[in-house]
Chain A
Amino acid sequence: MNASVRLSVSSLRAHKRRFAGTFLAVFLGVAFLAGTLVMGDTLRAGFDTMFGNATSGTDAVVRSADAITTPGESEGVRQPVATDLVNAVEQVPGVAAAAPNIQGAGQLVGANGKPIGGQGPPTLAGNWIADEKLNSYRLAEGRAPERSGEVVVNRGTAEKGDLRIGDTTTLRTPDPVKVTIVGLATFGGEDGMAQVTFTGMTRADAEKYLTARPGEAASIQVRAGPGVSQQELVDRLTPVLPEGVEAITGQESAEENTDMISSQFLTLFTTFLLVFSGVALLVATFSIHNTFAIVVAQRAGENALLRALGASRRQVTAATLVEASVVAVFASAAGLAGGIGVAAGLQALFPAIGFPFPEGDLVISGVSMALPLAVGIVVCLGSALLPAVRAGRTAPLAALRETALDTTGASRVRAVTGMGLAALAVAVTLTGVLVSPSLWLAGTGAVLALASFVVLGPVASTTAVRVLGGPLDRLRGVTGGLARRNALRSPRRTAATASALMIGVAVVSLFTVFGASLKATMDQTVSRSFAGDVAVSTPSFGAGGSGLSPQLAGAVQELPEVDTAVGLGRGVAEVDGKGRALTVTDPLALERTFDLGTVDGSLRDLGTDGIAITENEADKQGLTTGDTTRLTFTDGTTRTFTVRAVYGQSELAGEYVITRAAWAPHRTQDTDTLVAVSFKDGVSTDTGKAAVEKVAERYGNPEVQTRDEYAQSSAGGIDMMLTLVYALLALAVLIALLGIANTLTLAIHERTRELGLLRAVGQTRSQLRAMVRWESVLVAAFGTVGGLALGAFLGWVLVKASDGASDSSFAFAMPPLQLAVVALVGLAAGALAGLRPARRAARLDVLRAIATE
């Protein structure tokens, strides 16, 4: 065996413990990364199989060719096709069967009176296709709907709503429809298509409730006769289709569906998780680097002896690197196994929390194994590289001196470089935020800021620990004083240890600040532009739910308590070649319940060819009142609209407003997303709200909220997101914790004799434990404070840059309570990290400690 390798192996064997922390850090990071990748692959494969199974009987899909996609949506809106087309399609040779597929939004009300789903995934309703092979749902129990009011629902939805065959409930389409469940269905062998709810009705009911006009369907499903391939079928169908209607193969359709789910959900989900494994690995880098740096410093005497005996620099460096490689390979390999375990665990966990994970074996691809393995090894070796080079540089003479501990402070070069970086970071960031708003510039500034914090760490640590530890001397006497001075001993080490925690805390604070700012923004938006008293709305988080009945606004308007009730619907059209969301409403009433800012022109006479737009959009397109613009609708028609009003504020009212009359010829399923109500003078909010609630009950019982409640519920999704973020960041904090514990353990090993002396002259075990714990808390406090400062700064940058780069304005808010909690958690983490090292230190045998040479 090579000498370097032999040295590393014997060193590893002798000091297993000191690498336990490194091993765990790499293990956790790699496991998280591998778990994410495996789960992503498995989910994707699962959805593939599910859609494949569900649509295996459909050989071609006929639908409108053009879709209008508005920003922020993955699925475009298509004009329906005429159901008559089925007859023409059936005549085409090679077609075995064809059926219209009518689809719209329909939300079932559960046995407890609450709507099912609608918190994200779509709630769908459609016609129950009689041809078993064309229907993507299979009847599992009961029978198909035959009479009006009979429905089949997917089994998952029924279970969630506690509904059984024979039960009668309400389907919001959004007008409430009384339905009786006669059958339960499965999708591709599962109880549902993920969490999408589906209600299948008779074709007549579907046409009546789900489409704007009878005789329209979202698409036509076609099955080929024997011996006709999917492509042949499409080729034969194409000539008979009218202009603007296309045919695609069943396989393409299934792939589109999978892609849609992927882009809407999976990609977001996996990207999110990958970002967090990145954070975890970055934190791990610091912990690993620190461990190796300390080990090399402690071994200076040994390495010097080797050099004196004739070992080359390269051999000494190699010995350290081999050591790192062994740890890297073992920890990464264990991490892969851990990752597969994580994925398997999640697969088992998801159904338990009501998320039907498509069944199937875990998909373990080469990439999802090779990538985490490579990342783990690179991170570990990269972190050990610098200490290894330093080990090689050990002077042979150092063997003769007493082991010099790494007490080097911050060099001037470091201070200057750090300050330079910090200045550059601030300059770039401020330019990106204030001068020429750009997320890219701001992002670069953020990375620079992080780098400057890491570089400046050792410079700042001395002062910071002195200040933070100031009260310790007074509060905890000599124990506290010793703890503080121990933390001050090696500024570089303290800084590196704290950096790991700093990054974790910075990311947590960043999200906390950003979340609070988003909430404040929502709050401000509502309080600024919503002039009504109560709002009736559907959950604002996600795309689900069935919206509100367009009749609701009218019915509420009839109430004696109500001054104005206005419903806001949503339409889409291409304006200037780009898909845009339109607000479809009564512009006059809109003006009375929303503060639109300064209005140039009048909303009074929009009519069927008038449009109102925000100042922002007007400026962008160079439009003023009196100009004309062309709108292309999903049905392919293009109409010229005259700009009759330009208004200042857009937030709740949207960027483009047209009347219901203008929208009517192009509409699909009619729904309102929001009904805003203002009361007559002298009507109290409570009385008014109660009256509105009574009316709302007749329309599927949507929630009626006061202004404050409306503002709060608008921000509800943010809390959910933050909870998830915190859960994921716990991993990064855990790794940082391991780093602190590991550094302390190594430091205690270095100070064995000193601790022995302290014990000999009368330091009790509990005093010794307290000393180590306080040192840990101090290091953690330094990291936490740095992280809070960095995170708050980056949060401010993100908010301001978003504000500058996007049309909507963002408010900045610092949540003092949440940040205080973050700080406390950081300190508690420090105390926790110190527990084990403190216990170990206290177990020290006094006599052996003093005798150690």
Chain B
Amino acid sequence: MTTTTTATGTLPAARVVDAVKVYGSGDTAVRALDGVSVDFPVGRFTAIMGPSGSGKSTLMHCAAGLDTLTSGAAHIGDTELGSLDDRRLTLLRRDRVGFVFQAFNLVPTLTVAENIRLPLDLAGTKGDQEWIDSLIDVVGLRDRLHHRPSELSGGQQQRVAVARAFAGRPDVVFADEPTGNLDSRSGGEVLGLLGRAVRRTARTVVMVTHDPVAAAHADEVVFLADGRLVDRMESPTADKVLDRMKALEVPS
């Protein structure tokens, strides 16, 4: 496992090309994405930022294969998502993509351990037990393995979700406002986890957020406004991101 970022020229973990997403039709049509092209390179932690309605969640959903584009293309590795039927898309999500949502991330009837293994169990594979063990240690939940989600705090639940997202060694993990429901300390822990996972294990994470502090944990931030890519920022800090966001929110 390398700790360096991937050299240019190799395939990005995920990318969208000329992505257009239109909701509705006729007078009520809304262009949520209006020709976005963006790469998410392997081994990088990328944050997508933008004001409400900028299309950042739509971009993530389309890039992750949860939603389909009106036109343009979305790829996970070398797989073009538009050509896949529902079944293949599901299998792709199961085997090659991880998810962390804002809320309701865990199945309430399953224990912590079972929730972590869920994608593997659904696939009917054993997975890499050593890897999962190390994940459990990283998220620090070894003593909670047989608890139910309802017995955990919000931060703990989100850490379980992170462990699950990485359990199947996916090509890319998508996180949708993973700290939206958490206080700043728990949120910091979850973001630290995501960052460590990327740096130590060369995983790829794409995170949607509206919180500059959260975005500051990423290697790079891409800014969206009105369905278009408006800016990219390497090595962000909270202040820089906040300034950029302010500029976006005030129409020039």
Contact = CB atoms under 8 A, between A and B. Distances in A.
Given A757-B101, A761-B93, A847-B61, A486 B122 contact: no
A514 to B, nearest CB: 41
Interface stretch (B106-114, B187-195, B238-246): B106-114
A485 B108 CA distance: 10
A485 B66 CA distance: 27
A846 B66 contact: yes
A635 to B, nearest CB: 81
Contact of A761 (B67, B109, B122): B122
B123 interface: yes
Contacts of B94: 761-764
Nearest to A753: B104
A847 B66 contact: yes
A554 to B, nearest CB: 80
A765 B95 CA distance: 16
Contacts of B99: 760-761
Please tell me the size bucket of the interface on A.
20 to 34
Interface stretch (B43-51, B83-91, B129-137): B83-91
B50 to A, nearest CB: 18
A757 B93 contact: no
Nearest to B164: A761
A36 to B, nearest CB: 45
Contacts of A767: 122
B41 interface: no
B105 interface: yes
Contacts of A268: none
A492 interface: no
Contacts of A847: 61, 66-67
Contact of A478 (B66, B106, B122): B122
B109 A763 contact: no
B122 A760 contact: no
Interface residues of B, number: 28
B118 interface: yes
B101 A850 contact: yes
Given A485-B109, A761-B164, A478 B91 contact: no
A759 interface: yes
Contacts of B24: none
Contacts of B12: none
A759 B109 contact: no
B124 interface: yes
A488 B110 CA distance: 12
B121 interface: yes
B97 to A, nearest CB: 8
B227 interface: no
B178 interface: no
Contact of A762 (B86, B105, B107, B119): B119
B207 to A, nearest CB: 16
A60 to B, nearest CB: 81
Given A753-B104, A754-B107, A760 B91 contact: no
A546 B50 CA distance: 97
Given A478-B118, A764-B87, A765-B87, A850 B109 contact: no
B125 to A, nearest CB: 11
A17 B66 CA distance: 28
A482 B93 contact: no
A18 interface: no
A481 B122 CA distance: 11
Interface string A742-764: 00000000000110011111111
Contacts of B122: 478-479, 758, 761-764, 767
Contacts, number: 69
B67 A762 contact: no
Interface string A480-514: 01100110110000000000000000000000000
Interface in B34-67: 61, 66-67
B164 A478 contact: no
Interface string B72-83: 000000000000
A171 B122 CA distance: 75
A266 to B, nearest CB: 55
B107 A757 contact: yes
Given A486-B109, A767-B122, A847-B61, A762 B90 contact: yes
A438 B109 CA distance: 49
A761 B118 contact: yes
Nearest to B150: A407
A477 interface: yes
B107 A758 contact: yes
A632 B99 CA distance: 94
A753 B90 CA distance: 17
Given A489-B109, A753-B104, A760-B66, A765 B118 contact: no
Contacts of B119: 761-762
Given A477-B121, A847-B67, A765 B107 contact: no
A403 to B, nearest CB: 12
B148 to A, nearest CB: 10
Given A477-B121, A767-B122, A762 B91 contact: yes
Contacts of A764: 87, 90-91, 94, 122
Contacts of A485: 109-110
Interface in A801-853: 846-847, 850
A754 B108 contact: yes
A758 B115 CA distance: 10
B104 A763 contact: no
Given A761-B164, A762-B123, A765-B90, A482 B107 contact: yes
Contacts of A482: 107, 109-110
A757 B123 contact: no
Interface in A25-64: none
A481 B87 CA distance: 22
A136 to B, nearest CB: 73
A402 to B, nearest CB: 10
Contacts of A763: 90, 94, 122
B61 to A, nearest CB: 6
7 contacts: A478-B122, A761-B94, A761-B119, A762-B90, A764-B90, A764-B91, A764-B122
Given A754-B107, A760-B66, A762-B95, 19 more contacts: A477-B121, A478-B114, A481-B114, A482-B107, A482-B110, A489-B109, A757-B104, A757-B106, A760-B101, A762-B93, A762-B122, A763-B90, A764-B90, A764-B91, A764-B94, A765-B86, A765-B90, A847-B67, A850-B66
Interface of B: 61, 66-67, 86-87, 90-91, 93-95, 98-99, 101, 104-110, 114, 118-119, 121-124, 164
- 3 shortest interchain CB distances as A-B pairs: A762-B94, A485-B109, A478-B121
